[in-house]
Amino acid sequence: MLYLLATLVNSFDYSFYKSFSIFLISLFANTFSAISGGGAGLLQLPALILFGVPYYQALASHKLATVALGLGGSLRNSKSLKIDIYIAFQILIFGLPGVIFGASIVEFISEKYLYLFLGIISILLAFYSLFKSDLGLLSGNNELHLIHKIRFLIFIFLIGILNGSISSGTGLLVTILLIKTFGMDFLRAISVTFFTVGIFWNFTGAVFLSKIESVPTNILLLLIVGSFIGGYLGAHLSKIKGNKLIKKTFTIVCFFVGISLIIKSIIIFF
């Protein structure tokens, strides 16, 4: 009897520890992601895998949870989003087909090359942000020619494919693309990224991935709560501290996302 009771208590303690750890990791990862415009998968996805969640279940859970991140961030930045709603619709119209395509082929492609490619791009973005001191600090409205518009939409489609097949880094790519194409500051760009990538892209990718593996509801609820609170908190800190904090966080997150993805690629290679 005492043995059974001790076993039950130990099981409860581990379950509580595991649940609390997942919640804290989700809160921490999504707060930083909300400030930088992406990168929640840097901590959240590996943590789920370490806790024994199979890869595709972890990926689908992560993407569904980041919908809550997008909702939390969009709720706090709703006023910033209104002026760029037309751009947001373009990202949805041209990006969602890419997400669907990426999620559909994820079972048939080698992840190691995608991880390596996106890892290198992320590190290059980190150095670019570090050495370009004025990047994303001031908001403007660049006048685009037709060729620039077409190039933007092609990039959005390609990033959508990466979003559907890889967990980390695509929000960062969309954020920097908005800054370079339209002359936005970080706060404006991240508001658009939350709404498009955070909510609609990730939800679409999660739906397709959940057809491969079912999503564990107990873990998903913890992730959703952590993501929503983290998204709102990160967006709130961004509003208070401004673009300088966002730029610093963006640079750091880009660098560590890049390192993480390259390590994943090397592990898969060997």
Could you give the 3-state DSSP secondary structure of residue 141? coil
Neighbours of 140 (CB within 10 A): 11
Half-sphere exposure of 106 (CA within 13 A, CB side): 27
Q: Is the pTM value of this prediction over 0.85?
A: no
What lies within 8 Å, CB to CB, of 174 at 6+ separation is 37, 38, 91, 156, 159, 189, 192, 193, 196, 197
Domain residue extents for the chain = 23-269
Q: How many angstroms separate the CA atoms of 13 and 20, rounded?
A: 10
Q: How many angstroms separate the CA atoms of 261 and 65, rounded?
A: 20
Neighbours of 17 (CB within 10 A): 10
CA 222 to chain centre: 17
Per-residue pLDDT tens listing for the chain (270 residues): 334 333 433 444 447 677 788 888 888 888 877 777 776 776 787 777 777 777 677 777 887 888 887 787 777 666 667 788 899 999 999 999 998 888 777 667 666 677 787 788 888 888 888 888 777 777 677 778 889 899 999 999 999 988 887 666 788 889 889 998 998 888 888 889 888 988 898 888 778 776 766 677 778 888 888 888 888 888 778 777 777 777 888 788 778 878 887 887 787 776
